[in-house]
Every structure is written in C-alpha cells, then in structure tokens.
C-alpha cells in the first residue's frame, strides 16, 4: 500500500514535469534589438546581419533536395560532385532525408563529398494534420530519434547533423522548436515566407516574437531561445503566385523551353542578388530536375553561372546559419578555409528482408553498421 502511494506520488510529479516541458512556455514579446544580439539572438528582420552593405555581402545559395536517398536519385546527385565556387572551395548541397526507402550507404557517400545531411522525419507520414497537431513527444520520435538513427546507419558524426525540415512544410507550432533544443538541432528550414521576399528575410532566432507571415499554421508563438529559423523565401511563378519549392510553381515555363527556364530561374535569383542578398534557396525534388532535358540544361547553366561569380557561394544550409551568426564582408569570407571533414568509412551491409512491425511489409536496407533486427521505425529507430 505504502509503495503504491509512493508510485502514485512519483507519477504525479512526473506528469507535472511533463506539463512544464509541454505547456509552460512564455509567449514571445516584441523583439528588442538592443538585447537581442549576435551570435545567439537575432530579431526576425530583412536587415543584413552585421549591418553589412549589400555589395559587401556574399550571396549564399542553398540548393536542397528532399526525401529518401536511393540508387535512382543518387545518379543526379553525383553530377554535382567536383563542382566548385569561384573561390575554389567545393559547393555545398543540403539533403533533407527521411528514413523510409533511404539507402544509408549512399547517405554516407553524400556526406563524404562534403554535403550536408539534414533530417526530414522517420515516417514522413500523411495526413498533413499529423504534423500540424504533432506534440513535443511526437516530434522527438520523428526527429530526435532520427538524428541518432541517421548517425548510426550512415556512420556519420552525430554532431554534424544540424538541420531539419518538416514534411509538407507543415509547421507544428512550438513543439518542433522545443524538440530542437532537446535534440541539439540548430536550424529549421520548414517555414515559408511570401511577404518578406524583396528585401528577403534573413535567418533569425525565436527569443522574441517572429514577424514572419505564417503560410501553413500553426507557427511558433513562444519565446524559444536556441534554434534558428532559416526562412524559405518563396519564388514567384510566371503569374506572380508564390512557390516554396521550384516544383510547386504552378505557372511555369514550357517544360521544353530551356531558355525560358533559365530566365525564370535567373529572375528569381536576381531578386536576392540585386536586393539584400538574403540566402537564395533553390528548393526542389530530384525528379523534377531530371524529368526533362530542357529543365536539366537550364539548371546546369544556372549553376555554371553561379560558380563563375566572385560574390556568390553555393553552401550547405548550416553554413548560411553560421554566416548569419558571424557575418563578414566578401573579401574576408573568400579567405576562409574550405570545409574539411575526416572521412567517415562505410563497411556496408545489405540487410533484409526486414519486417516492419507497423505495416508487416518487408524492406531491404543498405547500412554502414550491423544490420538491424527489424525494420527501424518510430519508437525503435535502430531496429533493435
Ligand atoms: Zn518530403
């Protein structure tokens, strides 16, 4: 009886603590530029960090690809190997990878090419309301667990995993940002803006209230010091409608018209380059680039052009956050050493058939570690 009472009291204490994590948040106040200072705090603003002049500001370009990495799309990713910025450093590309159907041997390969591996959830499940309503605990299972899972199966250092993007860019209010603090994630790249495009919104923190438009609610309302928001500054299609992903633009050039595609891409790029030089995002899914020769050629021409501009740098998304935290003029930026990482080996194994406990489907996986016992999934990210 006594033990039952103790257990009951412990349960009460535990649930009180859980409530604090979940709900005891302070509503964010209007940002105060005098107290919110770099490198750890920045108001949501279109001002260039460090008060730089646009012509002194490196134009950072973020090429990102979403979803599983597999033997089909890696063919396209491999064509980016060896490409360099004008300063001689290898370009950056960021992959927001979800777990299902991902080949971890290939993730390891992308990592070793210097690209950034970021998180895109374990399940990537529908319906979209799942993400809108996701609690802190759900986001921990989808992202904090995925961080461990990615580091484990792709054999990459866990401290090199910094970023995340929620499936369907569906915001989940405060819970994803609270989770980021627990999981040691630096930036979120899920939040589109069509209001702050010219001048563009630079990355910022959530110590204070965001002024960003909330296109896919719920957006965070609490003061959550720590994580950075890397806003997805939308493109505009030919009729002026905003699109967060290039493949989501509705009124777009004829798929066989390379010249029109090149102009379309350039038009969107120049809004940044000739404006306040907020990082320019080329956010896309691989199939779209590969789908037609004209788009593929226009894309390649665009990258060739970027790589010949002395003030443009294709970088990993986390490097854009690093720049926002520690802004420097172009001349100094160019002098920085290129990124380098110790090689991460992959003594790979093909595993399967592995049964998924949630669907009873069977899967095959390639991993850089020992094979899991069952197909890894929510609640069992390492497949023990
Ligand atoms: Zn996705």
**Model pLDDT for residues 275-297, shown as the tens digit of each residue:** 999 999 999 999 999 989 999 99
| Residue 359 binned pLDDT confidence (cut-offs 50, 70, 90) | confident
Burial class (CB in 10 A: 0-12, 13-18, 19+), 126: exposed
CATH for the 27-334 domain, from 3.20.20.370, 3.50.50.60, 3.40.50.1980, 3.30.479.30 = 3.20.20.370
Mean pLDDT of the region 34-46: 98
> CA of 154: how far to CAs of 103, 342, 343, 379, in Å?
9, 14, 12, 19
The whole model's pTM is what? 0.93
Confidence of residue 358 (pLDDT cuts 50, 70, 90): confident
Query: What is the whole-number distance in angstroms between the Cα of residue 142 and the centre of ligand 1?
Result: 13
Examine residue 268 and say whether the peptide bond preceding it is cis (omega within 30 degrees of 0): no
Question: Cα dihedral angle (170, 173, 176, 178), rounded to 10 degrees?
Answer: 170
Spacing, Cα 189 to ligand 1 middle (Å): 12
Give me ligand 1 centre to Cα 96, in Å: 8
Residue 6 CA to ligand 1 center (angstroms) comes to 46
Report the pLDDT averaged over residues 319-343. 97
Cα gap 302→306, rounded to integer Å: 6
Say how many Å lie between the CA of residue 375 and the centre of ligand 1: 20
User: Is residue 282 a contact partner of residue 60, using CB atoms and an 8 Å limit?
Assistant: no
Dihedral angle sign, alpha carbons of residues 59, 265, 230, 273: positive
Of the CA atoms within 13 Å of residue 146, those in its CB half-sphere come to 30
Alpha carbon of 289 to ligand 1 centroid (Å)? 16
H-run or E-run covering 204: strand 204-206
Q: What residue ranges do the domains of the chain occupy?
A: 27-334, 347-384
How high does pLDDT run on average in the chain?
A: 94
In the three-class reduction of DSSP (H, G, I as helix; E, B as strand; rest coil), residue 375 is classed as coil
Q: Is pLDDT of 360 > 90? A: no
Does residue 20 have a pLDDT over 60?
Answer: no
| Residue count of the chain | 384
pLDDT at 23: 60
Pairing relationship of beta strands 224-229 and 187-188 according to DSSP bridges: parallel
pLDDT tens for 111-127 read 999 999 999 999 999 99
**Ligand 1: distance of its center to the CA of 121 in Å?**
9
Q: How far is the CA of 169 from the centre of ligand 1 (A)?
A: 8
Distance 247 CA to ligand 1 centre (A): 12
pLDDT tens-digit profile of 231-266? 999 999 999 999 999 999 999 999 999 999 999 999
Distance 359 CA to ligand 1 centre (A): 20
For strands 187-188 and 192-193, give the pairing.
unpaired
C-alpha 66 – ligand 1 centre gap (Å): 5
pLDDT in tens, 211-230: 999 999 999 999 999 999 99
- CA of 44 from ligand 1 middle (Å) equals 26
């Amino acid at each position: 009886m006594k033990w039952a009472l103790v257990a009951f009291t412990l349960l009460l204490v535990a649930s009180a603590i859980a409530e604090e994590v979940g709900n005891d948040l302070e509503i964010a106040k209007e940002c105060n530029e005098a107290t919110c200072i770099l490198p750890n705090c920045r108001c949501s603003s279109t001002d260039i960090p460090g008060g730089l002049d646009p012509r002194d500001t490196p134009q950072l370009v973020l090429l990102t690809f979403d979803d599983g990495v597999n033997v089909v799309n890696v063919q396209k990713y491999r064509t980016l190997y060896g490409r360099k910025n004008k300063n001689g450093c290898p370009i950056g590309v960021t992959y927001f990878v979800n777990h299902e159907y991902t080949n971890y041997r290939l993730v390891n390969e992308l990592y070793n090419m210097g690209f950034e591996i970021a998180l895109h959830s374990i399940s990537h499940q529908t319906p979209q309301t799942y993400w809108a309503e996701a609690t802190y605990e759900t986001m921990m299972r989808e992202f904090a667990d995925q961080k461990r899972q990615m580091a484990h199966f792709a054999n990459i250092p866990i401290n090199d995993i910094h970023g995340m993007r929620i499936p369907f860019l569906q915001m989940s209010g405060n819970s994803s940002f609270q989770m980021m603090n627990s999981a040691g994630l630096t930036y979120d790249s899920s939040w589109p803006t069509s209001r702050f495009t010219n001048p563009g919104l630079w990355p910022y923190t959530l110590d204070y209230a965001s002024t960003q438009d909330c296109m896919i609610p719920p957006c965070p309302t609490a003061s959550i010091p720590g994580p950075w928001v890397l806003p997805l500054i939308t493109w505009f299609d030919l009729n002026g409608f905003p699109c967060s992903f290039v493949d989501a633009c509705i009124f777009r050039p004829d798929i066989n018209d390379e010249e029109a595609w090149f102009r379309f891409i350039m038009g969107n790029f120049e809004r940044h380059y000739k404006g306040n030089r907020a990082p320019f995002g080329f956010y896309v899914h691989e199939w779209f680039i590969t789908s037609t020769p004209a788009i593929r050629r226009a894309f390649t021409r665009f990258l060739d052009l970027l790589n010949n501009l002395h003030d443009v740098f294709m970088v990993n998304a986390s490097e854009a956050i690093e720049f926002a935290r520690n802004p420097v003029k172009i001349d100094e930026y160019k002098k920085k050493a290129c990124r380098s990482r110790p090689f991460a080996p992959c003594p790979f194994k093909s595993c399967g058939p592995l049964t998924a406990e949630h669907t009873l489907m069977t899967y095959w996986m390639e991993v850089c570690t020992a094979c899991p016992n069952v197909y890894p999934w929510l609640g069992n990210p390492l497949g023990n």
